[in-house]
A = this chain, B = another copy of it.
């Protein structure tokens, strides 16, 4: 039972903090968000150089072999900085799928490139009717001898425009929402038959709609075994995004506390009003609760016992959703008009937290999932 960071983790944390301090001032981030790609290739190269892209990847393929807690440390600081580079899509999810299910050839070819920042991945799973059910898949993959041909629509694929390859869930057998019969495929972003519509998102990221009409795809993992694979890797992604959310919440809590101490109304700082004091205490307690569940889920995300693992994941996502909602909304409210402006950071964190609740299923979805487990 030990909740302290190791020396290496502390060094990593310091290093990400330095990066955020230097590269993620409000204006700098605003430019990134408005740029063509929506992030900086230079930052990406720097992340490769600093070993962050390699962090969670296996040593035998050019990685560092870090634990989920290592990723957590990184993601929390990314959350504090509202970092927009596609770390979640490429490394946590893309790398996660390759490690979990890639063939030896795929790993050998792709993981070193991923670690070196020479390859970017995206994950296409949502469909118009699927809502938050990963297994509600209507995209079809037809076998032609050894190769597969994919058709259908995928929605809200984060960072698809800048990915080299996209991991796509498609049905090789079974009916809609069957657990069996889903297969994951690696698809080249420039494959024929694939058309993309790219757009920004409300929280400053990029995403795309994909239309596939006979797109060539290579299976990633066992044919028909996609459901279990997605459970595993999306679970890891949830653990990581919980850490990002904790970073966002802490910044909001600190910023709002600071604001109340300096903003004078009725002749005294707002921090002297008991109602606002108690509100801040509630925000603080939400942050502490979110952090506790973030630790818990990152320590349990690779737990053997499937039910206990999935309960931990859903419970964490529920808590993060509730805490993020409260902290985000109250931060805007306590900042008054200033909290409504695009000019201050507050609203951007609030928007990110709002969207993090949506990611991989919102709190309602995970509460129901928890109850059903």
Contacts of A274 in B (CB 8 A): 273-275
List residues of chain B with CB within 8 A of the CB of A275: 274-275, 278
Nearest Cβ in chain B — how far from A265, in angstroms?
13
Number of interface residues of A (CB under 8 A): 4
CA distance A274 to B276 in the complex (A): 9
Residues of B within 8 A of A278 (CB): 275
- Interface positions, chain A 233-277, Cβ under 8 Å from B, are 273-275
Give the Cβ gap from A18 to chain B, nearest Cβ, in Å: 41
Q: Which residue of B lies closest to A275 (CB)?
A: B274
A56 to B229, CA, bound (A): 67
Q: How far is the CA of A274 from the CA of B268 in the complex (A)?
A: 15
In the docked arrangement, what's the CA distance between A273 and B278, Å? 12
Complex interface: chain B residues within 8 A of A273 (CB): 274
Q: How far is the CA of A275 from the CA of B280 in the complex (A)?
A: 13
Task: Specify the chain B residue showing the minimal Cβ separation from A279.
Answer: B275
Q: Once the chains are docked, how many angstroms separate the CA of A275 from the CA of B278?
A: 8
Closest B residue to A277 by CB, please name it.
Answer: B275
Within 8 A of B (CB), among A259-305: 273-275, 278
CA distance A275 to B273 in the complex (A): 9
Name the distance in Å between A178's Cβ and chain B's nearest Cβ: 29
A273 to B273, CA, bound (A): 9
Measured CA separation A222–B227 after assembly (Å): 57
Which A residues fall within an 8 A CB radius of B? 273-275, 278
